[in-house]
Amino acid sequence: MQTQNKQKLGLKKLFLFFLLGSFLGTIYETILWYFKNGVFTIHQEVLFLPLIPTYGIVTVILSCFAQKKRKWWQAILFSTLIGSFCEYFFSLGYEVFFGIKFWDYSNLPLNINGRTTILFAFFWGVLGAFFIHVVFPFLLSIFKKIPQKLETFLVSFLCPFVFFSLFFTYTALGRMHLKEKGLDDSSLIGQFYDQFFSSEFLFQHLHLMQKVSSFPKIKWNGEKLIGHAFYIVEEDTYTSSKEAFLNGYQNGLRTFEVDFQFTKDNELVLVHDWSLFPEFQGIAPTLNEFVQNKIRGKYTPVTYRDLLNIMATYPDIWIITDSKYTDTDSVTKEFQYLKNVAEEMGLSSLLDRFIIQIYNEDMYDVILEIYPFQNFIFTVYQVFQENMTTGRPFSSEDDERFQQICLWSKKHNISYITFPKEFYDEQIQNIIVENDLQLFLHTENDESKAKEYFKEGVSGIYTDSLSYQKIT
């Protein structure tokens, strides 16, 4: 039975309750994620410390409420209101001030603007009442036994760590949000945050964090230029490197095609072929070997996890997948990996900004069984592999097969077809127009030829080096 606590809680004890609640919240979310996804990932909302302040604030409020004797129905009602209120307004605050979300319940029934749900409100009420009547009296009895000098020492020791964790977390998030609005700060302080608390750093360490702009399910509307293997960097192509992405982005491209392959230990990375790493001698390395070496000895390699962080940092980019696998087992393995890792990182909404290249009709069904991707593009070079290899011109049978592909694509709401430029002609363009589709050619780096293709009705091209400035 709970007894009335006549001694008011001081700031030191409230701080300890905040710290304990925040820490236990992290443990709870981590365990919940593990049982849901089978992956152990520490989920925290601040840098450096395993804390979720939302739980800490609720714990402090409930502790203050629990100082007087309460009936169970009072405890349940108060906990329901306070838990839901804090969950809702913390979510709103993260979105308004930082442009991010740590949770989104839009896909759950009885949700309130995706920030909380009626069911979770019930959970808050039951757990809060249990805390008020059972946990709080037990913890308070322990805290009261702590000598005052020891309590002062603990608070004095822990408080700076918590303060600096919160300070750098929220100022770094604020800095990131201002940069996204175009309010860049080139001062020494701004340079400090760019170097030590970049957007990529934040997304890597705050695993549940997502950009608000990445949540809506959206459709790709096509672009004239698609960066091939990200883009050229210096004079090098096919690198799929971080430097290549940044160069393409700076040149105005927003859609990029990249190649995926598995490492020796079955981790997905961006690489066209292993010959780009002379030290690997054409053999797939381990993930650790991959990240510790440079592409062509000088460029930064990108893993799939790195790519998700890049997409989260740059919410206006799209990624076209170039898979090296077409058999059912390998396709299933690859796209299951894409889905699982995105969910593990709390970035599953980014999957809607992938444009999936399929190479045959069967591949489409296999992929949709794994995840309902929003965007597809049918790439025909493997269907016409013989033409590509031997240079054999398209025959009437080839034109008929291309017509079948276009009819199938239209039936399945796939609006985009990728075609090798070497075999593009008026007949191919006519088939595209008849089926009300858009045609993309690969790979073209000559600006005059690109302009000619656009005049003939081609919607876009894959390129290593062209920019919008060159083709307009």
**SS3 of 176-242:** HHHHHCCCCCCCHHHHHHHHHCCHHHHHHHCCCCEEHHHCCCCCCCCCCEEEECCCCECCECCCCCH
Domain contains 181: no
What's the Cα-to-Cα distance from 41 to each of 12, 214, 262, 464, rounded to whole Å?
31, 21, 22, 37
Same domain membership, residue 230 and residue 157: no
User: What's the number of domains the chain is made of?
Assistant: 2
Query: In the listed set 138, 169, 200, which residue is the last one of a domain according to the structure?
Result: 169
27 versus 99: the higher-pLDDT residue is 27
Which residue is associated with the tokens 């001694």? 7
Express each pLDDT in 296-345 by its tens digit.
999 999 999 999 988 888 888 999 999 877 788 999 999 999 999 988 88
The confidence score (pLDDT) of residue 207 equals 65
Count CB atoms within 10 A of the CB of residue 291.
16
pLDDT at 37: 58
**Alpha-carbon span 380 to 355, nearest angstrom:** 15
Residue 432 domain flag: yes
User: Of 149, 169, 189, which one is at a domain's C-terminal end?
Assistant: 169
CB 231 within 8 A of CB 251: yes
Percent of the chain with pLDDT over 90: 53
When pLDDT is averaged across residues 417-446 and rounded to a whole number, the result is 92
- Given 154, 169, 184, which residue is the final one in a domain? 169
Query: Tens digit of pLDDT for each residue in 157-213?
Result: 999 999 999 999 999 988 887 776 666 667 788 788 878 887 767 876 786 676 665
Is the per-residue pLDDT at 1 higher than 60?
Answer: no
Parent domain of 121:
11-169
- Confidence band for 222, pLDDT divided at 50, 70 and 90: confident
Amino acid 201: pLDDT: 78
**Could you give the angle at the alpha carbon of 238 between the alpha carbons of 437 and 225, nearest 5°?**
35
- Rounded Cα distance between 24 and 136, Å, is 14
CB-based contact 331:367 (threshold 8 Å): yes
Report yes or no on 393 lying in a domain. Answer: yes
pLDDT at 464: 96
pTM, whole model, 2 decimals? 0.59
Report percent pLDDT > 70 for the chain.
93
Complete DSSP assignment for 382-447? TTTHHHHHH-PPP-HHHHHHHHHHHHHHHHTT--EEEEEGGG--HHHHHHHHHTT-EEEEE----H
Q: What is the pLDDT of residue 87?
A: 92
SS3 102: coil
CB 355 within 8 A of CB 319: yes
Whole-number pLDDT of residue 216: 44
d(CA 140, CA 125): 21
pLDDT digits (tens, 9 = 90+) for 211-220: 665 444 467 8
What are the helix (H) ranges across 224-327?
A: 242-250, 287-292, 304-313
Query: Residue range 47-68: average pLDDT?
Result: 91
Place of tokens 């759950």: 108
Q: Looking at the structure, do residues 160 and 248 belong to the same domain, yes or no?
A: no
Output the six-digit token pair for 375: 């965007």
Look at residue 185 in the predicted model and tell me its pLDDT.
Answer: 64
Structure tokens that stand for 465 in this block: 């080096």
pLDDT (average), residues 346-370: 90
Co-location of 226 and 330 in the same domain: yes
Q: What is the mean pLDDT of the segment spanning 388-397?
A: 81
Q: How far apart are CA 77 and CA 176, in angstroms?
A: 38
**Domain co-membership, 415 together with 281:** yes
When the pLDDT of each residue in the chain is averaged and rounded to a whole number, the result is 87
Q: Which of 14-18, 393-397, 415-419 has the lowest mean pLDDT?
A: 393-397
Q: Is the pLDDT of residue 36 over 80?
A: no
203 within a domain of the structure (yes/no): no
Kindly state whether residue 357 falls inside one of the protein's structural domains.
Answer: yes
Does residue 237 lie within any of the structural domains?
Answer: yes
Name the strand (E) or helix (H) holding 130: helix 118-130
Mean pLDDT of 399-424: 92
Per-residue pLDDT band for 107 (boundaries 50, 70, 90) equals low
| 270-284 tens-digit pLDDT | 999 898 898 888 889
Are 165 and 281 found together in one domain? Answer: no
DSSP, collapsed to helix, strand or coil, labels residue 461 as: strand
Identity of the highest mean pLDDT range in 26-40, 109-123, 289-303: 289-303
Is residue 99 within 8 A of residue 180, CB to CB? The reply is yes
Domain check: are 222 and 165 in the same one? no
| Cβ 134 vs Cβ 7: under 8 Å | no
Using CA atoms, how far apart are residues 422 and 58, in angstroms rounded to an integer? Answer: 64
Alpha-carbon Rg for the chain in angstroms: 27
